[in-house]
Amino acid sequence: MRPQRSLSCAHAVCCWQHGNWRTIVAKNTERAVLAGGCFWGMQDLFRKLPGVLKTRVGYTGGDVPNATYRNHGTHAEGIEIIFDRDVIGYRTILEFFFQIHDPTTPNRQGNDLGMSYRSAIYYADDTQERIANDTIADVDASGLWPGKVVTEVEPVGDFWEAEPEHQDYLERYPHGYTCHYPRPDWVLTKRRETA
């Protein structure tokens, strides 16, 4: 298994859409790597967003090479998202991320406890880092969550793909466990800049 680090490229994806298999080619793609609790729920919600071309779950942000579910050391359960920048932007990906998980609980989402369930954004370049920090500042200023955001912002490292049984888990088991939910009234506005 090899870690993946690519950022932007032309990308072809086969997907099931309206009862037919379709190949979608996007020339302006970007990669986002996020951690926000159990990866099953994250993947289930992100894969449905318009402009998201491909998702896969895995282990990232930690110290163990060739990480697995049984041996992932300090890695977080994460999701890799390949998206079409002509349809959805990185900022919108992050706003959705903050809507579907609680970024104010360290090392916890719902009933899941431990480092592997931490909230983290793994940025690929200076632009992603700036957008991540700006979005966090907006979330903190918004009052939409009861506490301050504890989401880590770190450079992306190795992403170790999770075992096949974890990929698209809630697509195969629609009533399976999740602690991620869209909050329909959750709308993030940009904070006012102070002089």
Active site residues: 38
Among residues 167, 165, 166, 170, which one has the least CA distance to residue 180?
A: 170
**Residue 165 corresponds to which tokens in the numbers above?**
């049984």
How far is it, in rounded angstroms, from Cα 88 to Cα 41? 20
How far is it, in rounded angstroms, from Cα 131 to Cα 135? 6
- Give the burial class of 142: count Cβ atoms within 10 A of its Cβ; 0-12 exposed, 13-18 middle, 19 or more buried: middle
